[in-house]
Amino acid sequence: MIFDVLTLFPAMFSGPTTESILKRAQQAGLITIRLHNIRDWATDRHRTADDAPYGGGAGMVMKAVPLAAAIRAALALEPKAPPAPVILLSPDGTPFTQALAHELAQQPRLVLLCGHYEGLDERVREALVTHEVSIGDYVLTGGELAAMVLIDAVARLCPGVIDAASISEESHSDGLLEYPHYTRPAVWEERPVPPVLLSGHHGEVARWRREERLRRTLARRPDLLPHAYVAGQLSQADLRFLAELGWMP
């Protein structure tokens, strides 16, 4: 999978995209992250990519000409491929969820546009942006950090990047939170590991983990349970256990 990232500050991506899983995924050829400095498409000697807004007001606005040229240049890098989604990272966008991460992971390429300052010229939004995504109901100084979050969440779902078994029961993978994890020592500061995990009984371990996912979701994110119920992700055994905890659909 290819991520083409358009940004005014490419140096911000050093570190997050060059360490850990993303580094290994790139080395293995599973994903490619290409950074494009929007200023490279500016038309003046100062490489100006922003200007004062029409109508007055505080802040600056990203200019249409270099921004559009950068997007079109990125799209042209794969002329034989289907048109890639052009995603603006924006607080106005669709909330970023695990379901959306799975949907985006099916694409062979994503073009990510990092807004900055007061935003970008609306005409570029209308002409070239196909999707807008928000990572939360708050405002950042720019779209770079949001783009890093999206890359990390989507890349780990690409085949081969992470073992599929590690993903299947993660938080939000099926509408529930993940179960607790433990490792050695078996007792730490007088806190023992739950005995069932030491029993060697795989069926009982699986049941305990499922019940802990339900218990944790009810305690921490009860808003997720109705969605899981409507989506058919709760079994009759799940519903019986939740009823014991006081939750009914």
* Residues of the chain below pLDDT 50: none
Specify binding-site residues for S-adenosyl-L-methionine. Answer: 115, 135-140
Specify binding-site residues. Answer: 115, 135-140
Distances (CA, A) of 23 to 10, 144, 158, 248: 16, 18, 14, 45
pLDDT of res. 168 = 66
pLDDT of res. 245 = 98
Task: Give pLDDT tens digits for 204-219.
Answer: 999 999 999 999 999 9
CB 150 within 8 A of CB 133: yes
pTM for the predicted model, two decimal places: 0.90
Task: Give pLDDT tens digits for 161-185.
Answer: 998 767 766 667 788 999 999 999 9
CB 1 within 8 A of CB 101: no
CATH superfamily of domain region 169-244: tRNA(m1g37)methyltransferase, domain 2 (1.10.1270.20)
Task: Sketch the domain layout of the chain as residue ranges.
Answer: 2-164, 169-244
pLDDT of res. 169 = 63
pLDDT of res. 21 = 96
pLDDT of res. 137 = 95
Q: What is the dotted CATH code of the domain comprising 2-164?
A: 3.40.1280.10
